[in-house]
Amino acid sequence: MSPNAESTAFRSALEVIRAVEPRVADAIGAELADQRESLKLIASENYASPATLLTMGNWFSDKYAEGTVGRRFYAGCQNVDTVEALAAEHAKELFGASHAYVQPHSGIDANLVAFWAILADRVESPALKKAQVRQVNDLTEADWFALRRELGNQRMLGMSLDAGGHLTHGFRPNISGKMFDQRSYGTDPATGLIDYDRVAEAAREFKPLILVAGYSAYPRKVNFRIMREIADSVGATFMVDMAHFAGLVAGKVFTGDFDPVPHAHIVTTTTHKSLRGPRGGMVLCGPELADQVDRGCPMVLGGPLPHVMAAKAVALAEARRPDFADYAQRIVDNAQALAEGLLRRGTTLVTGGTDNHLVLLDVSGYGLTGRQAEQALLDSGIVTNRNAVPQDRNGAWYTSGIRIGTPALTTRGLGTAEMDATAELIHTVLSQTTPGANADGTPSKAKYVLDPAVADSVAKQATDLLAGFPLYPTVDLG
């Protein structure tokens, strides 16, 4: 395809938008400019291809399509059936799964589908059996009471938020922490690594219905074979949330014991992050859970988003190409180079390094909170996010950590040499930033002091570093 085709497509789209609401068109253009000029190190973000982005802006957005392929509650869904089936086919081939459900709008939606599919499959009661065969009208008030009691009183064991787990793994303010009688497993205080013996001990004591593995801020691999053995030992359903590292699974960087698909009963993921697709979710499972998973809509989902499912099909097709495996390996190579560069400069890293796409900095060694560090880096053209570290003294809002990741910069083509330069820029900012004070003179966990000249200098160096790796080089908005 001619590079001019992509430029023409995006220019034309903005021209049409500008005719209706120019401020939206301006914001879209400004977002591209900002992303081109910033060192994007947020581990959960990436850059989708022009083909994926363009797929989301089409007439599929106008269709309702509740149900599944061939079994819709609306007429005229034959074209939606085509793209949904293609997305599922690509997902099954890419991950070696027997069933794929591509309707979830997000990772949290995918997890809700998985939770309720497991509950519906595992919890035995006359009321539930009636509900499973759709005899809802036969349920008495007593049946509903019993059903709510049983479905709302099950146990889940997941990784704690400060150890690197996700808020949907039982964090109390999240729906997962309200649905389940929940307990968390952490990491070894000395190493920051998962202690599988302690997980097994917690499982034996707690006897969960669901054992959840996966993470959003754990910089190491997880042995899913061992986790499945733990789940089996207590009769738990083993669920893996691979939203962050799905691209490393798709690219065959994580194989064997570190590939969750052969070991888990059910796997959830997002389709963006390291998978480099559109924002959305997906569920993979075996045939024993497939029927329950396919009831995600209307069980917990609203109408599917056919335009996003079409974009998922495009992105998953891209991930099946041989060059995606090379991309996935470079993500890890870059993360390890970034970690090594920070360690050489005296930065404290949780677990002392990384095996995957992310690095977790403990910025308390710089005398800062995560919130102070996050904003000082942003002032300097480096986009990160604050994140809790194990046993974080500053809590989940201010935190003591910064999470950084390499999927986005790897998409731009930066390599290990540029990761070392990036480490230098990060260290420069953090070492030159000091905590600020509140109006009454007390120490602040949010305010900070950074010489604007230092911020400007680092921002310029970041821009210079990125100049050789243009973002969307085939897209010129004029």
Distance CA 98, CA 221 (A): 24
Element (H, E) at 284: strand 281-285
Q: Is 137 exposed, middle or buried (0-12, 13-18, 19+ CB in 10 A)?
A: exposed
- Alpha carbon distances (Å) from 65 to 72, 139, 238, 245, 340: 6, 28, 30, 30, 49
Residue 206 CA, distance from chain mean position: 28
Q: Are 474 and 6 in contact (CB under 8 A)?
A: yes
Structure tokens at 207: 């006897």
Which pLDDT does position 128 carry in this prediction?
A: 60
For the domain spanning 322-467, the CATH number is 3.90.1150.10
Which pLDDT does position 148 carry in this prediction?
A: 67
Structure tokens at 472: 């969307």
Which pLDDT does position 105 carry in this prediction?
A: 96
Which class would CATH give 59-121+154-319?
alpha beta
| Model pTM score | 0.92
**412-428: b or e for each residue (b if 16 or more CB lie within 10 Å)?**
bebeeebbbbbbbbbbb
Which pLDDT does position 171 carry in this prediction?
A: 77
448 has which bridge partners?
435
Which amino acids are annotated catalytic? 64, 66, 241, 270, 273, 279
Which pLDDT does position 337 carry in this prediction?
A: 98
Which positions of the chain have pLDDT values less than 70? 1-3, 123-139, 144, 147-148, 150-153
CATH 3.40.640.10 domain span(s) along the chain: 59-121+154-319
Q: Which of 242, 255, 313, 319 is nearest to 284 (CA)?
A: 242
Which pLDDT does position 339 carry in this prediction?
A: 98
